[in-house]
A and B are shown apart, each in its own frame.
Chain A
């Protein structure tokens, strides 16, 4: 017994925090990549998570295939993300203060898009159940059954993250993306079409958020407001881990997942307070975050 709960409850909380951390990681990676390369604080990231869930739901409804919905959601939302980059964000890169304008455009989107979904899908939430073949209990700790689906989320993230790391660190494309984030002009001077890379990067980050949304949809309620709450938590993940850092997004995601999960045994909103305090502390003491590069945005 520890703080009034048996050890297995604490172990369980660790596990649940891990799975929730996975959803954070997928989302935060997208947020972090977009921020790292383009310097855009994407306040619209939450809506792409929501759109991913709705795209997944629509695919599931029409085709009945869960796997297809996991594929269609990131693709469709990625395309939409590319359109947003080409149509809107492109126009603000040259603004007097692109950072502020980026915040504003994406903030505007985060107001507009949920209403669009309400208009298209109606206001009540949509049912997106766990697929039948992943519905069984996988293992049991104490009295709690951990379902196959939570394990599935864990495995998918564990497989996806190394692939992403490989793409970003070992391929030409990844090299260009990373180079572009450090010295944009230089990359352009080397004759690389940076504009296309930016479109791709933004779409890629969005696709990750949408994938997170589609994966998380069977676990949570699919409602137009689902993106708002998780957005701020992801900011915290990115800030704590280090803005623009790959490892940071992973460690930050795991950390925030654990903090929220473990503290809930003690007091309900304690976790929320702690993560904000953590965010403030990191910004004050080590503004580049746990893994961020020094001085990238210290202007």
Chain B
């Protein structure tokens, strides 16, 4: 068997392979520094990053207000779990919808402006959400965060699956939703709408001249982004059974920018790789060296300066063409890993 065939085969089974790996991960994870609870959080932040990148990487809009798209839904999910129903079937969809609504509200206002102005506007508006959450102490718990989320279980037709105190179940629940969301985002990006977003990103004038409704497409990107960011927010609430005020603070927007660009903007895999490296580094470095921000911040600066395309982006750009040249000359388009293909520009 030649190298070519091996690459071929791996590429063809990339998605099923990833699924199997993700399902099996908890059985190994706890013997490694990438323990299960951390893996679940990586998936959630990866999804958040991907949702953010629908705007930045695929539509070319920098938002500095994603803390609202993520934080408001995490509070909505948390409040529903505390006061209304401990059912995840209510909290998760409600979170995603809340994300979309927040995005509609914030995006609708901010969309009137472009570029830096859009970024600054989203920053300002998202901070208004932060102060509203912070001042409504009786509802949200204010600075202390929202506590009192009951023991969570997933009700299925066949019975109940406990999530609290069962990290594996929580992980699988989060994993399934994140995987489905990632596939859905991939489909959206490959749909005519997704192509239109990329057209707007690449050249707005040309897109407009081709008859695209540029503002409409931007709004659609914002809504998609808000929906999945909201879903990620609700999942974080379920994961940690607590809603920290940090979720709505602007530093959360900073975090999502960082991990997306760390991994590589404009790639499906990038935000997940970014989240994995960012969260793992934080977790791992902080165990032995309490100046982890020095390490993470330093690495980040290096990556932005030396690898402007991020980790996945750079690997794709430098490594994949080489592989393509040497080992996969024929059915290139059909067999390249999905993550790479889906992100083709």
Residues on A facing B (Cβ under 8 Å): 41, 88, 91-92, 95-96, 99-101, 103-105, 107-116, 118-119, 232, 235-236, 239, 243, 269, 272-273, 276-277, 279-280, 283-284, 287, 297-299
Q: Roughly how many angstroms separate A272 CA and B128 CA in the complex, as a whole number? A: 9
Chain B nearest CB, measured from A84 CB (Å): 10
From known contacts A104-B261, A108-B301, infer whether A284 and B123 are also in contact, taking CB-CB under 8 Å. Answer: no
Q: Which residues on A sit within 8 Å (CB–CB) of B116?
A: 41, 99, 243, 297
Known interface pairs A109-B297, A118-B291, A269-B134. Does A284 touch B305 (Cβ–Cβ under 8 Å)?
Answer: no
Interface centre among B135, B254, B296, B308 (most CB of A within 10 A): B308
Contact B300 A276 (CB under 8 A): no
A-B contact count (CB 8 A): 112
- Are A92 and B304 closer than 8 Å at their CB atoms? yes
* CB<8 Å pairs between A and B, sample of 17: A92-B304, A92-B305, A96-B308, A105-B301, A108-B298, A111-B297, A115-B291, A115-B292, A116-B294, A235-B123, A273-B128, A276-B125, A276-B127, A277-B124, A280-B121, A280-B125, A284-B112
Verify B291–A276 contact, CB threshold 8 A: no
Interface positions of B from 280 to 296, Cβ below 8 Å from A: 291-294, 296
B205, chain A: closest CB distance, angstroms: 11
Residues A269 and B294 in contact, CB atoms below 8 Å apart: no
A104 to B299, alpha carbons, bound, how many Å?
Answer: 12
Closest residue on chain B to residue A288 by CB atoms: B117
Q: A279 near B114 (CB under 8 angstroms)?
A: no
Q: In the complex, what residues of B have CB within 8 A of residue A101's CB?
A: 304, 308
**Closest-CB distance, A260 to chain B (whole angstroms):** 13
Name the residue of chain B whose CB is nearest to the CB of A298. B114
Interface string of B316-342 (1 = CB under 8 A from A): 000000000000000000000000000
Q: How far is the CA of A109 from the CA of B298 in the complex (A)?
A: 7
Q: Which residues of B contact A273 (CB under 8 A)?
A: 128, 131, 135
B114 touches A299 (CB 8 A): yes
Residue B190, interface by CB 8 Å: no
Task: Knowing A92-B304, A99-B116, say if A269 contacts B131 (CB, 8 Å).
Answer: yes
Taking the nearest CB of chain B, how far is it from the CB of A246, in angstroms? Answer: 19
B113 within 8 A of A: yes
Q: Which 7 A-B pairs have the closest CB atoms?
A: A112-B297, A111-B297, A108-B301, A115-B294, A115-B293, A108-B300, A279-B124
Which B residues lie within 8 Å of A116 (CB)? 294
Q: What residues make up the interface of B, taking CB atoms closer than 8 Å to A? A: 56, 62, 109, 112-117, 119-121, 123-125, 127-128, 131, 134-135, 250, 254, 257-258, 261, 291-294, 296-298, 300-301, 304-306, 308
* Shortest Cβ gap from A244 to chain B (Å): 11
Q: A115-B293, A239-B124, A283-B121 are in contact. List 19 more A-B contacts (CB 8 A).
A: A92-B308, A99-B62, A99-B116, A101-B308, A103-B62, A104-B300, A107-B258, A108-B300, A113-B297, A115-B291, A115-B294, A235-B123, A276-B124, A277-B128, A280-B124, A283-B113, A283-B120, A283-B124, A299-B114
Contact of A297 with B117 in the complex, beta carbons under 8 Å = yes
Residues of chain A with a CB closer than 8 A to B257's CB: 103-104, 107
A185 to B: closest C-beta gap in Å: 20
Please name all residues of chain A whose beta carbon is closer than 8 Å to the beta carbon of B134 when the two chains form the complex: 269
Query: Are B115 and A298 in contact, with the CB atoms below 8 A?
Result: yes
Q: Which label, helix, strand, loop or mixed, suits the secondary structure of the A interface?
A: helix
Q: A113 to B291, alpha carbons, bound, how many Å?
A: 11
- CA A112 to CA B296, docked complex, whole Å: 7
- Nearest chain A residue, comparing its CB with the CB of B129: A276
What's the Cα separation between A101 and B309 when bound, in Å?
10
The smallest C-beta distance from A219 to any residue of chain B, in angstroms, reads 25
Interchain CA distance A101-B308 in the complex, whole Å: 8
Asked whether B305 lies within 8 Å of A269 as measured between CB atoms, the reply is no
Q: Which residues from A are CB-within-8-Å of B115?
A: 99, 297-299
> In whole Å, how far is B126's beta carbon from the nearest beta carbon of chain A?
9
Complex Cα–Cα for A193 and B222 (A):
42
* A105-B301, A269-B134, A272-B131 known; A284-B121 Cβ under 8 A: yes
CB distance from B128 to the nearest CB of A (A): 5
Residues of A within 8 A of B293 (CB): 111-112, 114-115
- Alpha-carbon distance between A45 and B115 when the two chains are bound, in angstroms: 21
Measured CB to CB, the closest approach of chain A to B218, in angstroms, equals 15
A279 to B109 alpha-carbon distance, docked (Å): 13
**A-chain residues with CB within 8 Å of residue B291 when the two chains form the complex:** 115, 118-119
Chain A residues, Cβ within 8 Å of B112? 284
Residues of A contacting B304 with CB < 8 Å?
92, 101, 104-105, 108
| Of B113, B131, B305, the contact of A287 (CB 8 Å cutoff) | B113
Q: How far is the CB of B214 from chain A (nearest CB, A)?
A: 14
CB neighbours of B127 from chain A (8 A): 232, 276
Q: Are B120 and A239 touching (Cβ within 8 A)?
A: yes
Tell me whether A232 and B294 are in contact in the complex, defined as CB-CB below 8 angstroms, given that A105-B305, A280-B128 are known contacts.
Answer: no
Contact across chains for A298 and B117 when beta carbons are under 8 A apart: yes
Cα-based distance from A103 to B308 in the complex (angstroms): 13
- Min CB–CB distance A245 → chain B (angstroms): 14
Q: How far is the CB of A271 from chain B (nearest CB, A)?
A: 10
| Alpha-carbon distance between A96 and B124 when the two chains are bound, in angstroms | 26
In the assembled complex, which residues on chain A have CB atoms less than 8 Å from the CB atom of B128? 273, 276-277, 280
Write the chain A residue with the least CB distance to B304. A104
Roughly how many angstroms separate A78 CA and B107 CA in the complex, as a whole number?
38
Minimum distance in angstroms from B177 CB to a CB of chain A: 29
The distance in angstroms between the C-alpha atoms of A279 and B293, with both chains bound, is: 30
Looking at the assembled complex, report how far the CB atom of B26 sits from the nearest CB atom of chain A, in whole angstroms.
31
Residue of A nearest to B123 (CB): A235
CB-based nearest A residue for B128: A276
